[in-house]
């Protein structure tokens, strides 16, 4: 009898998302989980202060203890073993992706599985246009659209606050492959080592993994994108908790969503044409996005999910502006502006999202300036 093969999975970005994933991989699979840190200093900090352990408190489950698991191996660019990478999870913030990947590019090849677990849109374009420009030496790409909510508290502990699962799909390298047959999913489920690991029953149940075609994942991604495009910048600009704007957010959400949808419909045309072309064909999954991704429905969904279900939440972008960290605006509202430019549309067609992006960046700049120069309102 041969011993079951052990997968190695490198995690680039051991923050909130990297940690929640690493802990459950260590709890429920036998994978070798290897965090990749940005520097020797950060690696040494993990080895000393964290004693080589990843830890999380599952606060969504009442009374759950702090779960702590040792990792056998952790690396940074200077210590990296210089062997090809089999499976790579990217859980940095979107705007950190290019810099974080750079030291590891020589070890990523056509046999590497690379999964992005990030919010927003636009990293796929970045990978195509700026990072993996040689089409013969590109990794197999996947995306995880994650709805779990995790934050780091003042003591540095990661808290898993909301359990909501993760959709996983293979990403196409070209727009012509935007629509996948069910057989793509079946094939990866049977043969791809990363998909096999993520869909191992115990892990998949605990983490809420749903492995789908790209178009099904993209539907979820666009839905989430519209929630983020409203809740994140508007709460950051206004400096408020989500629920505080519930009764009066309709007009601005309508402007943002309507403009996003007009541009997304052009950029993702095969997805919006899907119902008429593919429903009824048994090689493809049934899907109806057209009745869900409408302005009216999405304004009420964003208000319900953002301002009612998560009324006491402070959005990640608001938190970033309060703690003077960079924001992911270029991969949310800024992405729509970029799409409009790439599609050669009239610049006026994206002016709402352009202004929202500028105001969110201004909010961050203002908070940074006040931290140095003081708050003039108090003079
Ligand atoms: N947190 C959530 O609840 C949540 C939910 C859904 C989606 N998301 C999305 O998931 C993505 C990750 O978010 P997050 O909350 O996990 O962010 P995070 O806590 O800030 O984690 C990012 C991690 O990436 C690391 N990193 C940055 N540059 C690096 C480099 N060059 N090399 C190695 N590591 C590097 C950071 O390390 P340093 O400390 O050294 O900078 C940090 O540990 C974002 O797109 C976010 O929008 C988050």
191-206: per-residue pLDDT in tens?
A: 999 999 999 999 999 9
Q: Any idea what DSSP says for residue 376?
A: G
Cα(100)–Cα(107) distance, integer angstroms: 13
- Region of 180 (left: φ > 0; alpha: ψ -120 to 50; beta: rest) is beta
CA 66 to centroid of ligand 1, rounded, Å: 21
Average pLDDT over residues 210-237: 98
State the pLDDT at residue 26. Answer: 98
Q: What's the pLDDT score for residue 263?
A: 98
Ligand 1 centre to CA of 345 (Å) is: 33
pLDDT in the model for residue 362: 98
Distance 36 CA to ligand 1 centre (A): 12
Q: 158 pairs with which residues across the strands?
A: 152
Q: Could you tell me the distance, in angstroms and rounded to a whole number, from the CA of residue 150 to the centre of ligand 1?
A: 11
Question: What is the pLDDT at residue 81?
Answer: 92
Looking at residue 300, what is its pLDDT? Answer: 98
CA nearest 177: which of 139, 218, 208, 230? Answer: 218
The closest alpha carbon to 127, from 144, 112, 114, belongs to 114
How much is the average pLDDT of 118-142?
A: 95
Distance between CA atoms of 151 and 160, rounded to whole angstroms?
A: 7
Residue 150 has a pLDDT of: 93
State if residue 94 touches ligand 1 by the CB under 6 angstroms criterion: yes
pLDDT value at residue 343: 97
Q: Choose one of 93, 145, 159, 227 to mutate for the ligand 1 pocket test, by most ligand atoms within 8 angstroms of C-beta.
A: 93
The CATH number corresponding to 217-371 among 1.10.1040.10, 3.40.190.10, 2.30.110.10, 1.20.1560.10 equals 1.10.1040.10
Rounded Cα distance, 222 and 279, in Å = 20
Ligand 1 atom nearest the C-alpha of 92 is 24
Predicted confidence (pLDDT) per residue in 138-168, tens digit: 999 999 999 989 999 888 899 998 888 999 9
Q: From edge to edge, which strands make up the β-sheet containing 66-70?
A: 66-70, 53-57, 158-162, 149-152
Q: Does domain 8-211 have CATH number 1.10.10.10?
A: no
Ligand 1 pocket member 122 (CB < 6 A):
no
| Any ligand 1 atom below 6 A from CB of 143 | no
pLDDT band for position 95 (cuts 50, 70, 90): very high
* Torsion (CA) 306, 307, 309, 313 in degrees, nearest 10: 80
Q: Is the CB of 284 under 6 A from ligand 1?
A: no
Say if ligand 1 is within 6 A of residue 42 CB.
yes
* pLDDT over 80 (residue 39): yes
- Ligand 1 within 6 A of CB of 334: no
CA-to-CA distance for 379 and 375, rounded, in angstroms?
A: 7
Q: Among this protein's residues, is 191 annotated catalytic? A: no
Beta-bridge mates of residue 142: 115, 170
Q: pLDDT tens for residues 316-369?
A: 999 999 999 999 999 999 999 999 999 999 999 999 999 999 999 999 999 999
pLDDT-derived band at 378, boundaries 50, 70, 90: confident
What pLDDT shows up at residue 232?
A: 98
Confirm or reject: Cβ of 146 under 6 Å from ligand 1: yes
User: For strand 66-70 and strand 53-57, is the pairing parallel, antiparallel, or unpaired?
Assistant: antiparallel
Q: Give residue 154's pLDDT.
A: 83
| 308 DSSP 8-state letter | I
In the predicted structure, residue 3 carries a pLDDT above the cut 70: no
Question: Would you state the structure tokens that stand for residue 95, as one six-digit string?
Answer: 């705007």
- Alpha-carbon separation of residue 29 from 2, 21, 24, 119, 159 (angstroms): 18, 11, 8, 25, 21
The average confidence (pLDDT) of the chain is 96
Rounded Cα distance, 176 and 155, in Å: 48
Q: What is the pTM of this model?
A: 0.96
Tell which residue, 158, 10, 156, has the closest CA to residue 73. 10
- For ligand 1, whether the C-beta of 160 sits within 6 Å is no
For residue 17, give both structure tokens: 């998302």
d(CA 321, CA 318): 5
Segments making up each domain of the chain, as ranges: 8-211, 217-371
- Looking at ligand 1, which residue's alpha carbon is closest to its atom 33? 38
Output the CA angle 272-147-319, nearest 5 degrees: 110
pLDDT digits (tens, 9 = 90+) for 261-311: 999 999 999 999 999 999 999 999 999 999 999 999 999 999 999 999 999
113 CA → ligand 1 middle, Å: 19
In this prediction, residue 4 has a pLDDT band, given cuts at 50, 70 and 90, of low
What's the pLDDT score for residue 225? Answer: 98
Determine the pLDDT at residue 1.
57
Is the CB of residue 137 less than 8 Å from the CB of residue 189? Answer: no
Nearest atom in ligand 1 to 100's CA:
31
Work out which ligand 1 atom sits closest to the CA atom of 148.
Answer: 5
Residue 154 token pair = 């003042």
Say what the pLDDT of residue 297 is.
Answer: 98
| pLDDT on residue 283 | 98
Nearest in space to 284 (alpha carbons), one of 188, 167, 168, 186:
186
Under a CB-based contact definition with an 8 Å cutoff, are residues 172 and 180 in contact? yes
* Residue of the CA atom closest to atom 14 of ligand 1: 16
Q: How confident is the model at residue 104 (pLDDT cuts 50, 70, 90)?
A: very high
The reported pLDDT for the residue numbered 136 is 87
Cα of 16 from ligand 1 centre, angstroms: 6
Catalytic residue among 224, 277, 312, 378: 224
């Amino acid at each position: 009898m041969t011993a079951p093969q052990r997968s190695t999975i490198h995690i680039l970005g051991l923050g909130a998302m990297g940690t929640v994933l690493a802990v459950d991989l260590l709890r429920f699979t036998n994978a070798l989980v290897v965090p990749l840190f940005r520097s020797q200093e950060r690696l040494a900090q993990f080895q000393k202060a964290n004693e080589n352990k990843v830890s999380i408190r599952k606060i969504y489950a009442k009374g759950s203890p702090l779960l702590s698991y040792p990792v056998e191996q952790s690396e940074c660019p200077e210590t990296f073993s210089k062997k090809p990478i089999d499976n790579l999870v990217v859980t940095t913030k979107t705007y950190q992706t290019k810099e974080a990947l750079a030291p590891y590019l020589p070890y990523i090849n056509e046999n590497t599985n690379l999964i992005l677990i990030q919010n927003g849109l636009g990293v796929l374009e970045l990978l195509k246009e700026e990072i993996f420009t040689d089409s013969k030496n590109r990794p197999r790409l996947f995306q995880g659209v994650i709805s779990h909510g995790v934050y780091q508290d003042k003591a540095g502990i990661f808290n898993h606050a909301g359990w909501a699962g993760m959709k996983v799909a293979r990403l196409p390298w070209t727009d012509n492959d935007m629509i996948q047959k069910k057989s793509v999913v079946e094939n990866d489920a049977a043969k791809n080592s990363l998909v096999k690991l993520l869909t191992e029953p115990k892990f998949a149940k605990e983490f809420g993994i749903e492995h789908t075609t790209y178009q099904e994942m993209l539907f979820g991604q666009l839905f989430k994108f519209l929630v983020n495009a409203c809740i994140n910048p508007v709460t950051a600009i206004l400096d408020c908790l989500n629920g505080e704007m519930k009764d009066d957010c309709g007009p601005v959400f309508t402007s943002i969503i309507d403009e996003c949808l007009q541009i997304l419909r052009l950029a993702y045309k095969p997805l919006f044409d899907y119902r008429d072309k593919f429903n009824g064909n048994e090689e493809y999954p049934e899907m109806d996005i057209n009745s869900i991704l409408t302005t009216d429905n999405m304004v009420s969904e964003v208000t319900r999910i953002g301002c009612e279900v998560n009324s006491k939440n402070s959005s990640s972008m608001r938190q970033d502006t309060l703690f003077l960290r960079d924001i992911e605006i270029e991969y949310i509202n800024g992405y729509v502006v970029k799409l409009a430019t790439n599609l050669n549309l009239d610049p006026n067609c994206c002016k709402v999202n352009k202004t929202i992006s500028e105001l969110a960046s201004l909010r961050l700049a203002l908070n940074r300036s006040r931290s140095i120069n003081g708050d003039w309102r108090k003079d």
